[in-house]
Amino acid sequence: GLVEVPFFSQIFYKTPVPTRQIEMEEKDIDQIGKDVTEKLIKSFGALDMETKEWRSALDEPEPPPKPSQISRIPWLPKDPDEDFKKVEFILTEKELTALIQQEMEGVKDSPIEKDVQFVITSQEIEVFGKILRPVKGAITVGLKPQVKEGKIEMRLTKLRLGGLPAPVFVGNFLIDEFLTDKIRELNEELTEEAQITEVLLEDGRMIIRGKMRKNKF
């Protein structure tokens, strides 16, 4: 079997830690989830779970057009985006962490502890958690969001188990187990009445931009 040599173990092994700690109390998770839903409605629109009616982001009155926008010279080609309204949705790393932890509350026999957290940098989304099986230890997953055919996809950028690179299948397992359905739900909510055009990462937040047809409602 493996023999642990304390002196060398301390030199060669360092307990993995996330890039930064996401501070959050359990009582805040539900409220953050409600706040995110409200932001989503204001940005893209969403299904109101109480009335079962679609609440449009276009319900808010638009400012009156500038004089230069009132008329268009007939023979000029029409701007393809003229019939669309640009929309933007910002999700912070604390909100993303709360949403996933909330989702994991109902998962039985989860192979990963529910205190998983997401750190957003300008380069990637870092997922840090502790897995219980098929092996036990801290795991760090790097994800890069990209837009394909108007929907968000996640590309794996790094994967470490403990302090060492981990097999790709472990990362794919975690993505399929916990993120695929959540991303699919997000795509369905955002693209129900809108088209996603861009996803940007900044330190601490992810910016999702898209467009909605003005005469949809």
Distance CA 45, CA 62 (A): 15
**What are the pLDDT tens digits along the chain (217 aa)?**
444 444 444 444 566 788 898 988 888 888 998 898 888 777 776 544 455 454 555 455 555 555 555 455 555 555 566 778 888 999 999 999 998 888 888 778 877 888 889 999 999 999 998 888 767 888 898 999 999 988 888 888 888 887 777 766 666 766 776 677 777 777 777 666 678 999 999 999 999 998 887 755 4
**CA atoms 56, 60, 63, 64: torsion sign:** positive
**CA atoms 191, 194, 198, 199: torsion sign:** negative
Show the beta-strand stretches assigned E in the chain: 46-48, 53-55, 84-92, 117-120, 125-131, 137-148, 151-161, 164-165, 194-202, 205-213
Distance CA 197, CA 188 (A): 15
CB within 8 A of 170, min separation 6: which ones? 131, 134, 135, 139, 159, 161
Distance CA 190, CA 45 (A): 8
pTM given for the model? 0.72
Tell me, what's the pLDDT at 2?
A: 40
What are the sequence ranges of the domains in the chain? 18-56+84-216
In the DSSP assignment, the letter for residue 112 is B
Tell me, what's the pLDDT at 1?
A: 41
Cis peptide before 80 (omega within 30 of 0): no
* Burial environment of residue 148 by CB neighbours within 10 A (0 to 12, 13 to 18, 19 or more): exposed
Tokens of 198: 């861009």
